[in-house]
Chain A
Amino acid sequence: MPFHDIVRELKEIRDDFSTISFGRLQGKRVNRRARAHIAPEGGSDYDGSSCGLRENQSNNWANLPPELLHNLIQRVEASEASWPGRRDVVACASVCKSWREITKQIVKTPEQCGCLTFPISLKQPGPRDPPIQCFIKRERASSTFQLYLGLSPALSGDLSKLLLSAKKIRRATRTEFRISLVHGDFSRTSNTYVGSLRSNFLGTKFTIYDSQPPHTGMQHNYKPLQQSHSIQVSPRVAVRKYSVGMIAYELNVLRTRGPRRMRCTMQTIPLSAIQEGGCAPTPEERTNFQDQQFPTFSNSKVKQPLVQISSSSLTESQDSVKGRRDPLILRNKAPRWHEQLQCWCLNFKGRVTVASVKNFQLVAAVEPSHNVPAEEQEKVILQFGKIGKDIFTMDYRYPLSAFQAFAICLSSFDTKPACE
């Protein structure tokens, strides 16, 4: 009898074993298939082209040689430098895999060409010069803010392009701005959600959260996340929150009159970005991070790492490599007191026309030891100001992205009785 028991137990163990190994194997196979799925693409296209002329009598252009397709899309891209024509380039990238791949190769980052093309360009650093000119429309009734590409509603009219939209949500202890790619969809689980801005209780400090993990290159301590990702099987949508910047408004304890003073710590942009020959991290794909795990363009919204990066781990990493990897800090350009007008003045170069406590210009806060060229120190990286009732302009440049610039400007819309 006991022998019989032992045999049965052994049998059970063996069954367990086989199911486990089978499960693993299956998983692997699925993964491998997924990998193979996208690999042989350009090649097959090309092979088809050589016989295309002789045999292909049908209306099938699918087997154009890649270099020919490249040439065609390049022409479309070159002829559509501004919105709304620019959407043709987005359309080219939506046709099929080979078109998408070629279009992505052709389209340059805003830093390189000064153009915004795909939603990802909102998270890429802006051009070094001239800045990208945008405006923000405030809708008081719905507490929403819309960022448009264009000089102003009057000058750009229908040619202005909605870049980002934000909704202000008041909570008992803080204010939150949710930022989305489109107007009217501010759900954190939506595909169009790009990040948020949160205040502390007093409204003096704000944190910018990106829905996407920061681009590799600055913080290597993000690597472990990839491992956690591969284990994660839960289909539940996790909240995506990666702290990328902090905005601190200086408390005005003495209640003296004067403009607000702010300080923005951009955790994901190293100070070296504005040093000579430096570059700012540039994410390439909105789902770049997932692509490394899953070769198919898996949608970031479906599979998300459950692990979050706390801001403390960030600061730790920065401490450990201090000096080389200091984050970029932005501060107000000090306004000067105009005796005749009896007010504080800044030169906004005609882009701001209405005096407001919200108006500001940000420059890099650097020390002589940082070795930043003088002209770079003078450059206004972000400028924001009022031009009419509920209309504001926002001009941003390298190394900030449209998303970061918008978040910084939004912080200005939260009333801050303690700072004025």
Chain B
Amino acid sequence: MASTDDKVILKSSEGECFEVDMAVASHLQIVKSVLEDCEGSSDKVVSLFIVEAKYVAMIIEYYKNYVELKEKHEEGGFEEKLKEFEKQFLEQIDKKELKGLVMAVNYLNAPALFDVVCTAIAKHIENKSVEYVREYFGIVNDFTAEEEAQIREEHRWAYDGVNDD
């Protein structure tokens, strides 16, 4: 199949190496630009200094499937198949990992996966109380008493006259 020239090695923050097809790695904009910068050099190792191995594995898994599905469904149906896969993919990820993943994807600049992960996180915010969102994201309420009063008033208005049941 593909020759070794088409492979690239991604190194996680722990030093773990992942050999991936160029077709997969090129979806990560940061890897792509690094490789373009050192074109001609035999060294095909890209260090992803701040990304942990488990996230590198996740990202590779996603893009492997992405590339495969795209090849298989060139005539159409790619979108639906990808949606299906994305759903399964997200089900395996817990809340803590979701955060690590979004940061990693943001750093690696991988638009398709970034979109998927962000949509998943946005879903977690929708239809939730402020307290839930704070707890979920581990955010400390840092408003002053005056701001708090204004927010309470906004909140009261927003939730007034809406049936909760």
Contacts and interface: CB of A to CB of B under 8 A. Distances in A.
Interface of A: 37, 49-54, 58-62, 64-65, 67-68, 71-73, 75-76, 79-80, 83-88, 90-97, 99-100, 118-119, 146, 148, 158, 160-162, 181-183, 191-192, 286-287, 296-299, 301-302
A72 B121 contact: yes
B146 A299 contact: yes
Interface in B125-165: 125-130, 133-134, 136-144, 146-147, 149-163
A86 B150 CA distance: 18
B52 interface: yes
A52 B134 contact: no
Q: Secondary structure at chain B's binding surface: helix, strand, loop or mixed?
A: helix
A73 B133 CA distance: 12
Given A61-B139, A161-B162, A297-B144, A88 B125 contact: yes
A72 B137 CA distance: 12
B100 interface: yes
B146 A297 contact: yes
A192 B157 contact: yes
A64 B13 CA distance: 19
Contact of B104 (A53, A92, A119, A158): A53
Interface in B29-51: 50-51
Q: Chain B: interface residue count, which band? A: 35 or more
A67 B106 CA distance: 9
Contact of A79 (B99, B126, B130): B126
B150 A76 contact: no
Given A68-B103, A92-B133, A299 B50 contact: no
Most buried by B among A93, A96, A97: A96
A60 B138 contact: yes
30 contacts: A53-B107, A60-B138, A61-B136, A61-B139, A62-B137, A72-B118, A79-B122, A79-B126, A80-B126, A83-B162, A87-B162, A91-B128, A91-B155, A93-B151, A95-B134, A95-B137, A96-B142, A118-B154, A118-B158, A158-B163, A160-B161, A161-B162, A162-B160, A162-B161, A181-B156, A181-B157, A182-B157, A191-B152, A192-B156, A299-B149
A93 B147 CA distance: 11
Given A52-B103, A68-B102, A80-B126, A96 B140 contact: yes
B106 A68 contact: yes
A191 B155 CA distance: 12
A14 B52 CA distance: 67
Given A91-B133, A158-B163, A182-B156, 19 more contacts: A50-B50, A53-B50, A53-B100, A54-B50, A61-B139, A64-B137, A67-B106, A72-B121, A90-B155, A91-B155, A94-B130, A97-B143, A100-B151, A118-B154, A119-B153, A160-B161, A161-B162, A191-B150, A191-B152
Contacts of A65: 103, 106
A181 B153 contact: yes
A296 B147 contact: yes
B146 A183 contact: no
Contacts of B138: 58-62
Contact of B154 (A99, A119, A296): A119
A72 B118 CA distance: 6
A71 B139 contact: no
Interface string B43-73: 0000000111001000000000000000000
Nearest to B102: A68
B139 A91 contact: no
A294 to B, nearest CB: 8
A297 B121 CA distance: 29
B155 A94 contact: yes
Contacts of A75: 118-119, 122
Contacts of B96: 59
Nearest to B52: A53
A118 B136 CA distance: 24
Closest 8 CB pairs of A and B: A162-B161, A61-B137, A75-B122, A90-B158, A60-B138, A87-B158, A297-B147, A181-B157
Contacts of A71: 114, 118
A97 B99 CA distance: 20
Contacts of A181: 153, 156-157, 160
